[in-house]
Amino acid sequence: MENKPIFDRKNVLVTGGAGFIGSHLCERLLKDSRVICVDNFITSSLSNIEHLLQEPNFEFINHDIIQPLDLENLPELERFKVRFQGVQEIYHLACPISKRHFDDFKIATVLTNSVGIKNVLDLAVKYRSKMLYASSSVLYGPRQPDKQYYSETDECHINHLTSRGAYDEGKRFSEAIMQTYADVYGLDVKIARIFRTYGPRMKIFDGNLIPDMILNALDNRDIVITGSEETRTSLAFVTDIVDGMVRLMSTPVDITLLNLGSDQELRLVSVAQKILEMTGSRSQIRFDLPFTHYVEAGMPDVTRARDILGWIPLVRLDDGLQKMIDFSKSHRNLVSF
């Protein structure tokens, strides 16, 4: 039997670790791992990880993942002993994302979803790392009239030639190359298809649904809902999604793809009304026509995540919204349109 060295803590690499979900993931992983956070701040923020920089088991590397990454020759990683210990796990979250400025990052997006993931997978091959990829529910395409919930066995339906093809098709290609590397190199890969997620550190003033609602409520401006009074969605709090990702990473090699999100359907107008009540706002709610390429997403079937991981979202909407309101109050004057 092969004798594997035993380390007091795993070395874990998180790409996109200064982003919204990535920063919460780094926090969680620091409980029992050494965390190497890689980001280039193209759509993320140093403020998301500033409180982690003094942690002895955390190191930030400013790097664009579309360039190869040599962990063993970085002096700041000497204490991680990468040359000897390697990297046990990789969470790949890096991908430019900005609803308001999507067109500004199209080339960076398509390269991250092709060259970038190839570079990260090459690291996984080198170190025989387990690797988890943060994919997206956009692969299921727009909600169909006769179908409410989408499971992992459903086919992907996206139009790769729209203006969002760099992201949507990029996510599908990334899943394909993950599975190809698993087949060829025997890697243990995990794919989390993440549905709508909210929480502190979401970019504000960037066209994101919940931050926009809250900011407008705080300023007594109209809350604008794309669609009608019957427009619906699901909302999962970021710490629940992080918990699901960590649990998925720990599963056996034969578990690859899982949905992560809330299966509780919410009317957007009800969410807006709740925000108005919680903020004491005088805002009005109005409805607007969907913008070009707007997709009303379906709901996640999370049966597999519940059965395999023992995972369910735990954060109540009221509690999650309150955390978002507090975050928005403290950060709205720090950034501008």
Instruction: Give the active site residues.
Output: 167
Name 38's bridge partners.
Answer: 15, 61
Q: Are 71 and 120 in contact (CB under 8 A)?
A: no
Q: How far apart are CA 265 and CA 278, in angstroms?
A: 20
Letter for the amino acid at 187?
L
Q: Are 98 and 65 in contact (CB under 8 A)?
A: no
Q: How far apart are CA 282 and CA 290, in angstroms?
A: 25
* 209, 227, 282, 317 from 273: Cα distances, Å: 14, 16, 11, 13
Residue tagged 């990880």 (tokens): 49
Q: How many residues does the chain have?
A: 337
* 37, 147, 164, 204, 235 from 109: Cα distances, Å: 19, 30, 10, 20, 25
79: number of Cβ within 10 Å? 11
